[in-house]
């Protein structure tokens, strides 16, 4: 059965790393990782900006 991939799975081998995104948004790697894996579902603020950036890199 087909499983939808999370952002984290789509970004596994792509640039940039979670640490670079975390530094850019002044947060920690764990928070970026949680957003990418779908543990957190941001709807506004910093989390939404991080999610949009991750989606941009995943769709390249």
Mean pLDDT of 16-22: 87
Please tell me the predicted confidence (pLDDT) of residue 13.
65
List the chain domain ranges. Answer: 7-58
Please tell me the predicted confidence (pLDDT) of residue 42.
94
Residue 14 has pLDDT above 70, yes or no: no
For residue 18, the number of C-alpha atoms closer than 13 Å in the C-beta half-sphere is 17
- Top-confidence residue, 58 or 40: 40
Question: CB neighbours (10 Å) of residue 20?
Answer: 12
Average pLDDT along the chain? 86
- Top-confidence residue, 15 or 27: 27
- Top-confidence residue, 59 or 26: 26
């Amino acid at each position: 059965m087909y499983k939808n991939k999370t952002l984290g799975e789509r970004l596994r081998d792509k640039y940039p790393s979670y640490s670079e995104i975390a530094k850019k948004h002044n947060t920690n790697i764990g928070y970026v990782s949680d957003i990418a894996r779908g543990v957190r579902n941001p709807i506004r603020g910093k989390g939404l900006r991080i999610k949009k950036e991750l989606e941009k890199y995943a769709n390249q």
